[in-house]
Amino acid sequence: MNENDASEAELTKEQRILNMMRKVLTDVARDTHAPPGMKHPLTERTITGIRDCLGLISAREQELAEALGDDRNLRPRYVDEPRKNTVVPINIDGLKKKPKPD
């Protein structure tokens, strides 16, 4: 295993850790959700902390994805919709000038 393989394995491990942290934080938020009119069991400071942590996790996941060359655009797209970073072949034979008729 070379040095590059080790760094890729480390990035993957970090991504798994971030993913698990995001899931746990969102589960905490979901499990402690209070119905309208009820006092929320978490303090405003804790809620803000959870939001801030989720923001940091998301930003780091984006950095790691870019470092690995992953496409983080997870929005739905049509199968025939071209990807942004793809090379589209163009037939240049049709672009050649035809000789002018005499």
Q: How far is CA 17 from the centre of its chain?
A: 15
Return the ∠ at Cα 67 (arms to 58 and 83), rounded to 5°.
85
pTM for this model (two decimals): 0.59
pLDDT tens digits in sequence order for the chain, 102 residues long: 444 455 556 668 888 899 999 999 999 999 999 888 999 999 999 999 999 999 999 999 888 888 877 766 666 777 777 666 656 666 777 666 666 776
